[in-house]
Amino acid sequence: MALNLIMLGPPGAGKGTQAERFAKLKGIPKISTGDMLRDAVKAGTEIGLRAKAIMERGELVSDEVMVKIVQERLNRDDARSGFILDGFPRTVAQAKALDSVMAGRAPLIIIDIVVPEMELVRRLGSRLVCANCGNNADPSDAKAYETLRCSRCGGQLVQRADDNDAVVRERLKVYERNTAPLVNYYRERPTFRAVDGALAPDCVAAALVDAVDMAKGAVVGGTAL
């Protein structure tokens, strides 16, 4: 059975890092809408330029654009045996659209990574990203932070334009307003689980594996929606 996973959580919760680790562990693709949008920005396409202006204001790209991007990606061959969505859905409207896209496929497993707001502000204020490939530096990678070089491609690590204090707080407000209601949308599903994201990265990774295994048990038991 395909393993179809959604990672929820506010900016700075560690969704990207944990999704990448879990994807490698399970041999399924990590599908990050953020990565796809940054590729469009780098290419200078019309949608990329629109997305860049929106993201730098700490706002979210429209549901219509995001649904089209994700639907095309999920139809590729490498996603047939499963995937991890990082950064989508961000709104209840997107979640409903995703449910339609997923019709006839294995149920979604939803993991919500929970982190206190003060810790999120601290993390985002010190976060570094590669100017070349867009990869977020692992906070535990002391060498990367010391050399300011990406461990993936060797590019220069810089602070994201949307990680300054004012924009960080605006992004968290946008999350609370638009994205947090997803927890209520998914909460009653037997494949929904919450994980404490304030723990050390290795502990979060272990808790994630356990949570997914429990959710898979709900699917196998025939109780998933």
Q: Catalytic amino acids?
A: 15, 90, 127, 160, 171
In the block, residue with structure tokens 């947090």: 180
- The string of DSSP codes covering 120-179 is HHHHHHH--EETTT-PBPPTT-HHHHHHTB-TTT-PBEE--GGGSHHHHHHHHHHIIIII
Identify the CA nearest to 67 among candidates 97, 41, 31, 110: 97
Q: Which residues contact 3 (CB under 8 A, 6 or more apart)?
A: 26, 28, 81, 82, 106, 109, 212, 216
Q: Which residues contact 124 (CB under 8 A, 6 or more apart)?
A: 11, 12, 163, 168, 171
